[in-house]
Amino acid sequence: MVWNTQDELKFLESLGTFSKKTPKDAREKYFHRRKLLDGYRQSMNLRKCWNGIEREKILEYLDKHE
């Protein structure tokens, strides 16, 4: 199986939603998820292989969900 843009977007959509440590309060949940997405954005420059993943679409998703 090859990881693609849709797989990465599904991963981002679920980021911060499955942990037992995920806050219950909606406001805290928002800031918890935002922190994770910010960390993901910062780590994008470290990613060596983008084969099958459209980096620009990932950035669009992150911009939309900030």
Computed over its alpha carbons, how large is the radius of gyration of the chain?
Answer: 13
In this prediction the pTM is 0.82
Mean pLDDT of the chain: 89
Rounded CA-CA distance 32/20 in Å is 13
Q: What is the DSSP string of 3-49?
A: --HHHHHHHHHHTTSS-TTS-SSHHHHHHHHHHHHHHHHHHGGG---
Digit-coded pLDDT (tens) for 12-29: 999 987 766 666 777 777
pLDDT of residue 13: 94
Half-sphere exposure of 5 (CA within 13 A, CB side): 9
Number of neighbouring beta carbons within 10 Å of residue 58: 20
